[in-house]
């Protein structure tokens, strides 16, 4: 008989935002987007450029966090996505 030995999986760090548990990478993505948009506007850019830069920064931070935490799971990305989307 074969026995499957698995380590306890590490959960993604979360932060409470207005009573809702947000994954840390999503909160950092929102903050990166706001910071990018504000910095473009401060340095004299147009609103269109600020919106595109904010969107690019937010998507990059969001996907980067997903890739970073997804790589740490023992079972792979599919199980990571399933465990991250469950409501408790």
* 36 located within any domain: yes
* 77 located within any domain: yes
* 9 located within any domain: no
φ and ψ at residue 12, rounded to 5 degrees: -70, 135
- Distance between CA atoms of 78 and 75, rounded to whole angstroms? 8
Mean of the pLDDT values across residues 66-80? Answer: 62
Residue 42 has pLDDT above 80, yes or no: yes
* 5 located within any domain: no
* 44 located within any domain: yes
Number of domains in the chain: 1
Q: Give the predicted TM-score (pTM) of the model.
A: 0.63
Structural domain for 69, as ranges: 21-81
Pairs from 11-14 (Cβ < 8 Å, separation ≥ 24)? 11/83, 12/69, 12/84
Residues 48-68 pLDDT 10s? 999 999 999 999 998 888 777
């Amino acid at each position: 008989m074969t026995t499957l030995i698995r380590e306890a999986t590490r959960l993604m760090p979360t932060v409470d935002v207005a009573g809702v548990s947000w994954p840390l990478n999503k909160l950092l993505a929102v903050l990166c987007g706001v910071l990018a948009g504000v910095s473009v506007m401060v340095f004299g850019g147009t609103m269109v450029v600020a919106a595109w830069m904010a969107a690019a920064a937010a998507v990059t931070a969001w996907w980067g966090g997903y890739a970073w935490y997804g790589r740490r799971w023992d079972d792979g990305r599919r199980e990571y996505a399933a465990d991250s989307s469950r409501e408790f």
